[in-house]
Amino acid sequence: MALGVGLTVMVMSISGVVTKSLERNGNVGYNLIIGSKGSSTQLVFNSVYYLSSPVENLKYSYFLEFLPGNGRQEQFAKLGGNLKDPERSGKYAMFTSNGFVIPMCLGDYVGRFRAVATTPDFFNLLKHGDRNEDPYTFREGRNFVEESPEHSFFEAVLGSEVAAEMELKIGDTIQASHGASGDFVHEQGFTVVGILDATGTPNDRAAFINMEGFYLLEDHAAPERDEESGLEKRVTKSDPSAPAEDSPAAMASARKRLPIDKREVTAILLRSDFAMGMQKQINKTPSAQAVSPIQEIASLLQMFIQPIQWALLTLTLLVCVVSAVSILVSIYNSMSERTRDIAVMRALGASRDTVLIVILFEACIIAIVGGAIGWVGGHALAAWASPLVEARTGVKLSFFSIHYPNELWIIPSLILTGILAGIIPALVAYRTDVSKSL
Amino acid sequence: MLLLKDVRKSYPQPTGGSVTILNVPKLEIRSGEQIVLRGDSGSGKTTLLQIISGITRADSGQVLFDGTDLTKLSESARDRFRAVKMGYVFQTFNLLPAFTALENVRLGMTFGRGKYRLDRAKSLLSQVGLDDRMHYRPSMLSVGQQQRVAVARALANQPRLLLADEPTANVDPGNQQKIIDLLKEVCGKESIALLMVTHSDSISQQFDRVEYLDQINTVLTSEARS
């Protein structure tokens, strides 16, 4: 019984941590993730959890449509390149005027961790925590900037886990690679200027690099495409027709930014008061989709996590049933030895009902004591694992992290188990013939 | 105090039908009276005690205890009546092995008036000479000491009648007399009627009244005549 209840408490703790962790991470501070058409789950996995294979990219010009105010014109003025109607504002600009948009480019890795190319706004505007009120703070250093005199476009901020595992410190240089296997490592490095405090979010496990620098890495410029077929016309180093001054390395050394038409983004993180309406509109377009992270994470919970939780709970329930049977067998086997004791109690004036209740009470006590040991054991284990869980998920566990009201069900369940386990031995006691047993 | 009238008890036979083993036209025990009941093995002594105590119900007749006919009571009412009015000392003591001497005595109170009178339990154990053994389990006590605990348990509820079924049968001769002296003394002191089954002549001689089952059980007297 102790094992059964201990497992139940552990399953509840794990479920609680998984659910809370997912919910915490779903509480991201933006309403929509916009990405290319495809799997919405994959888009959330990529953009929120930095998992799964990367999704297709969106044109940077599409991202500009979301910039509030005159952001689109300002970006054109700053970056240059080919852009239709550069004088107008973004089509969605009026909907994002009270919010923000943050671009994100994914695909590269730093060691085993995802490299997230973004803008400094990621840490300036986004918040985290249960109430999404905690700003991102730096254990060491500062946020990266778009362009700094000493490091040009090549600054990086590390999640706490990345810095700890890779033993990186401020001033070190990290190099992004294509894919987790690190087959191709970019020559151009990024200088670590900040290390984040642990947040208990997937951001602890990511390296954030300046998007301007990311674009200047080899093969990161958007491929030219044939207008009719849509096939890539990739310009490589060996291509003699490629103008040398436009190569990423040359641009980097000249501190030139990649023009708009050569840029792509993987995802756009958007906060707006009109997110619902925008989501519908965006999803009607042929190339992009908008996903609500909270909705998506809720459906993830429902689709994947909850069935697993139920499976685990069913398993622990079976352990409890086996424990109940073992209580039944042990009490039942002891009945033959205790027939005389029961007869003595009857001779001293105990009624049949009294002995029945005594045996049921005994079974309940065994179940409850076993359950209490299991409860204490389960919570002690949770408390023992607390530092590890907190470091990995940001969810704090303590001995008294009770999963109300689920754990309250343990008490009536134990009493019911005790009664069910004790009913047969109790009936045997009830039927004891005193005159034959004395 | 106790009057048995035309009490009959039969048991079914495995081959069918039934055999009458007890037919007592009359047996009376007055308050505070001390009586020895004698009879051969299988003569129905234990059955008679169980009918008096209400453990077994007579097939017919009356068992009047202070005016209450036990044969008319339900089983649970007889249990309650027994717990309050009677004490029982068994041949094999029947102490609960998991309980200490004191707990065994208090168990006797549990089913009686429902009051855990710790002082009375201690006083009774003290009265039977077990002041220093109160917290010993039965396995840690000698045979004589175990029977003394059983006597204390039987007296726990201040019964009106103490039934003792061969209480010295399993006790060594040295302790036999001590048990008898104890029973006579405490019953006399608390005006408790005593009905004790024994085979011993020497014990019988110490009692003013001795009843022989082959005289009061007409089943046995008719068998003797035939």
Query: Band of the pLDDT at A63, cuts 50, 70, 90?
Result: very high
Cβ within 8 Å, pair B80-A350: no
Where is pLDDT greater, at A421 or A137?
Answer: A137
B202 Cα to chain A: minimum distance (Å):
27
Domain ranges across chain A? 28-295, 299-437
Q: What is the mean pLDDT of residues A13-20?
A: 72
A191-202 burial code (b ≥16 CB/10 A, e <16):
bbbbbbebbbbb
Give the SS3 label for residue A382.
helix
Give the SS3 label for residue A294.
helix
Cβ within 8 Å, pair A435-B111: no
Query: Band of the pLDDT at A386, cuts 50, 70, 90?
Result: confident
Query: Band of the pLDDT at A140, cuts 50, 70, 90?
Result: very high
Closest-CA residue in chain B for A346? B79
Cβ within 8 Å, pair B84-A349: yes
Query: Is it the case that residue A131 has pLDDT exceeding 80?
Result: no
Report the alpha-carbon distance of residue B151 to residue A35 in Å, rounded: 89
- Chain B residues in contact with A354 by the CB 8 A cut-off are 111
Which positions in chain A have a beta carbon within 8 angstroms of at least one beta carbon in chain B? Answer: 340-341, 343-354, 434-435, 438
Where is pLDDT greater, at B135 or A408?
Answer: B135
Using CB atoms, pick whichever of B50, B83, B96 lies closest to residue A349: B83
- Chain B residues in contact with A352 by the CB 8 A cut-off are 75-76, 79
pLDDT digits (tens, 9 = 90+) for A302-359: 777 778 778 877 887 788 788 888 888 888 888 878 888 888 888 888 889 999 999 9
A331 Cα to chain B: minimum distance (Å):
15
Reported residue count of chain A is: 438
Query: Band of the pLDDT at A48, cuts 50, 70, 90?
Result: confident
Percent of chain A at pLDDT exceeding 90: 29
Cβ within 8 Å, pair B79-A350: yes
Q: Are A190 and A210 in contact (CB under 8 A)?
A: yes
Q: Tell me, what's the pLDDT at B141?
A: 93
Q: Tell me, what's the pLDDT at B70?
A: 93
Q: What token pair was written down for B162?
A: 């103490």
Cβ within 8 Å, pair A351-B56: no
Report the alpha-carbon distance of residue B219 to residue B221 in Å, rounded: 6
Report the alpha-carbon distance of residue A334 to residue A336 in Å, rounded: 6
- Residue A358: what are its φ and ψ, rounded to 5°? -60, -45
Query: Is it the case that residue B79 has pLDDT exceeding 70?
Result: yes
Cβ within 8 Å, pair A348-B55: no
Give the SS3 label for residue A281.
helix
- ipTM score for this prediction: 0.85
A8 Cα to chain B: minimum distance (Å):
33
Q: What token pair was written down for A166?
A: 């890779």
Cβ within 8 Å, pair B96-A354: no
- Chain B residues in contact with A349 by the CB 8 A cut-off are 79-80, 82-84, 111-112, 157
> What does chain B look like in DSSP terms, one character per residue?
-EEEEEEEEEEE-TTSSEEEEEEEEEEEE-TT-EEEEE--TTSSHHHHHHHHHTSS--SEEEEEETTEEGGGS-HHHHHHHHHHHEEEE-TT----TTS-HHHHHHHHHHTTTS---HHHHHHHHHHTT-GGGTT--GGGS-HHHHHHHHHHHHTTT--SEEEEESTTTTS-HHHHHHHHHHHHHHHHHTT-EEEEE---HHHHTTSSEEEEHHHH-HHHHHHHH-
Query: Is it the case that residue A47 has pLDDT exceeding 80?
Result: yes
As a whole number of angstroms, the longest Cα–Cα distance in chain A is: 112
List C-alpha distances in Å: A228 to A62, A225, A231, A232, A233: 20, 9, 8, 11, 12
- Chain A residues in contact with B84 by the CB 8 A cut-off are 349
At residue A305, what is the residue type?
A: I
Which is the CATH superfamily of the domain at B2-225?
P-loop containing nucleotide triphosphate hydrolases (3.40.50.300)
Q: Tell me, what's the pLDDT at B222?
A: 65
Q: Tell me, what's the pLDDT at B3?
A: 94
pLDDT digits (tens, 9 = 90+) for A209-257: 999 999 998 888 877 766 666 566 655 544 555 555 666 667 766 778 8
Nearest to B56 by CA among B35, B79, B39: B79
Cβ within 8 Å, pair A435-B56: yes
- The three state secondary structure string of B116-146 is CCHHHHHHHHHHCCCHHHCCCCHHHCCHHHH
Report the alpha-carbon distance of residue A34 to residue A44 in Å, rounded: 10
Q: Tell me, what's the pLDDT at B92?
A: 83
Q: Are A288 and A266 in contact (CB under 8 A)?
A: no
Closest-CA residue in chain B for A432? B55
Cβ within 8 Å, pair B88-A353: no
Using CB atoms, pick whichever of B50, B79, B90 lies closest to residue A349: B79
Q: Tell me, what's the pLDDT at A246?
A: 64
CA B174 to chain centre: 22
Where is pLDDT greater, at A77 or A382?
Answer: A77
Q: Work out whether the CA dihedral B90, B92, B97, B102 comes out positive or negative.
A: positive
Query: Band of the pLDDT at A27, cuts 50, 70, 90?
Result: low
Residues in Cβ contact with A298 at an 8 Å cutoff, skipping those fewer than 6 apart: A26
The label of the residue with tokens 């855990």 reads B116
Q: Tell me, what's the pLDDT at A26?
A: 62
- Chain A residues in contact with B83 by the CB 8 A cut-off are 348-350
Cβ within 8 Å, pair A349-B76: no
Cβ within 8 Å, pair B110-A350: yes
Cβ within 8 Å, pair B55-A434: yes
What is this structure's pTM? 0.61
How big is the CA angle at A156 (ends A152 and A158), to the nearest 5 degrees? 170
Q: Are A422 and A327 in contact (CB under 8 A)?
A: yes
Using CB atoms, pick whichever of A340, A351, A352 lies closest to residue B94: A340
Pairing between β-strand B18-29 and β-strand A224-225 as defined by DSSP bridges: unpaired
Q: Tell me, what's the pLDDT at B219?
A: 77
Cβ within 8 Å, pair B80-A351: yes
Where is pLDDT greater, at A159 or A248?
Answer: A159
pLDDT digits (tens, 9 = 90+) for A79-121: 888 888 888 989 999 888 888 999 999 989 999 899 999 999 9
List C-alpha distances in Å: A265 to A187, A216, A297, A351: 22, 14, 22, 81
Q: Are A121 and A64 in contact (CB under 8 A)?
A: no
Q: Tell me, what's the pLDDT at A245?
A: 62
Percent of chain A at pLDDT exceeding 70: 88
Residues in Cβ contact with A299 at an 8 Å cutoff, skipping those fewer than 6 apart: none
pLDDT digits (tens, 9 = 90+) for A88-97: 989 999 888 8
A321 Cα to chain B: minimum distance (Å):
29
Cβ within 8 Å, pair B76-A351: yes
- Chain A residues in contact with B153 by the CB 8 A cut-off are 348
Nearest to A204 by CA among A13, A2, A60, A24: A24
Q: What is the mean pLDDT of residues B23-52?
A: 91
Which positions in chain B have a beta carbon within 8 angstroms of at least one beta carbon in chain A? Answer: 47, 50, 53, 55-56, 75-76, 79-80, 82-84, 88, 90, 94, 96-97, 107-108, 110-112, 153, 157
Check residue A204 and report its DSSP letter. Answer: G
- Chain B residues in contact with A435 by the CB 8 A cut-off are 47, 50, 55-56
Q: Tell me, what's the pLDDT at A74?
A: 92
Q: Tell me, what's the pLDDT at A395?
A: 61
Using CB atoms, pick whichever of B88, B110, B112 lies closest to residue A347: B88
Percent of chain B at pLDDT exceeding 70: 95
Mutate to test the interface with A, among B46, B94, B104, B160 (most CBs of A within 10 A): B94
Q: Which helix (H) or strand (E) holds A177?
A: strand A177-178
Query: Is it the case that residue A21 has pLDDT exceeding 70?
Result: no
